[in-house]
Amino acid sequence: MRAADTFCACKLARSQSGIALVMVLWILLLVTISTSAYTLMARMDQLEAHTVLWGTRARMGAEAGVNLAILSLRDPDETTRWIPDGRSYELWFQDMRLELRITDERGKLDINSASELTLQQFFSGNGMEPDQAEYVAAAVHDWIDADDIERANGAEAETYISYGLGVGPGNRRFVMVEELLQVLGMSWESYQSLEPGLTVYSKANEPDPAYAPVEALLALPDMTPDDALNFVEERHSQDAGSGLGVALPSGQVAMARGRGLTYSIQAKATLPNGVWDQVETTIRLGGSPDGRPFRFLRWREGFHH
């Protein structure tokens, strides 16, 4: 019996040792998984912190670019003042590369002041079908006028309701360009192609070609996309103060005249690691109630990497 007892005891001990070994292995596995998960979470937190830091630096760099552009616009020397015709200016700020574009709002088409015919030319020149361009141009004027009389091919409140829309035309001037999306017949795709050439600040019937982007130039009679591109390239090749001007296809010479008050500024800052951010704003120069030499009329921003 004693030998049997000894054998059973040894067998039980070996069995318990095996169980203990399995438990130790499971514990080691759980510790390894927990440690790996903690390491991964710490790494993700570090990456997230770096992303926020990089994004913040890029945003601040873009905002610095806006202020540099405004500083240049206030430069009294025409030979060193940046030309506000949408050309690109590149410079380094600390370790960031800044890309800056300034456009005088006089170069854009004011949707509050343009005639139906000019709007039709603008819409069709930027890719809208002729029938659709005629309809949207009339709908824009029905949006602006204060009456409820629907013009030919236009759209007043009853037409909006018939399309299941609860809100009709504003019967007032557009406050911002984005309101054009509420006009019946205007699609998001069309708006995206039109928006760079539109404004609500110039109060002019036609865009000034001396500052106009390609999109706005297509509102001018007999202007083709190729003509507009060639015209802008030639205009951007001229230095400030050259006084030469650039000839339109019609033979008219476009020359910068005077200094505007309202400008759109696009500022993009890119870090050495490729992270970038961009700010787009519209400013008006001149005194403001708070004593600043300019004020912001519009501000758009967004983080990209």
User: Do both 117 and 227 map to the same domain?
Assistant: yes
CATH number at residue 169: 1.10.40.60
Q: Is 6 within a domain?
A: no
**Which pair of tokens denotes residue 245?**
């001007």
Tell me which of 235, 254, 273 is where a domain ends.
254
Token pair 């937190």 in the structure block, residue = 45
In terms of C-beta density within 10 A (0-12 exposed, 13-18 middle, 19 or more buried), how is residue 225 classed? middle
Using CA atoms of 167, 171, 174, 180 in order, give the dihedral in degrees to the nearest 10: 40
User: Do both 114 and 241 map to the same domain?
Assistant: yes
Q: Is 35 within a domain?
A: no
Rounded to whole angstroms, the Cα distance separating 225 from 36 reads 58
User: Do both 208 and 289 map to the same domain?
Assistant: no
User: Do both 142 and 246 map to the same domain?
Assistant: yes
Domain extent, residue 169, equals 107-254
Q: Is 24 within a domain?
A: no
Q: Is 41 within a domain?
A: no
Q: Is 99 within a domain?
A: yes
User: Do both 117 and 219 map to the same domain?
Assistant: yes
Q: Is 43 within a domain?
A: no
User: Do both 248 and 269 map to the same domain?
Assistant: no
Q: Is 2 within a domain?
A: no
Q: List CB contacts of 170: < 8 A, sequence separation 6 or more.
A: 143, 144, 179, 182
CA distances from 202 to 38, 68, 146 (A): 58, 23, 21
User: Do both 152 and 192 map to the same domain?
Assistant: yes
Q: Is 25 within a domain?
A: no
User: Do both 141 and 248 map to the same domain?
Assistant: yes
User: Do both 129 and 180 map to the same domain?
Assistant: yes
Rounded to whole angstroms, the Cα distance separating 228 from 185 reads 26
User: Do both 164 and 213 map to the same domain?
Assistant: yes
User: Do both 111 and 94 map to the same domain?
Assistant: no
Three-state secondary-structure class, residue 278: strand
User: Do both 239 and 272 map to the same domain?
Assistant: no
**pLDDT of the chain along its 305 residues, tens only?**
555 555 555 555 556 666 777 777 777 777 777 777 767 676 666 666 667 788 899 999 999 999 999 999 999 988 899 999 999 999 999 899 999 999 999 999 999 999 999 999 999 999 999 999 999 999 999 999 999 889 888 999 999 999 898 888 999 999 999 999 999 999 999 999 999 999 999 999 999 999 999 999 999 998 999 999 999 999 999 886 665 678 888 777 887 888 899 999 999 999 999 999 999 999 999 877 777 889 999 999 875 54
Q: How many domains does the chain have?
A: 2
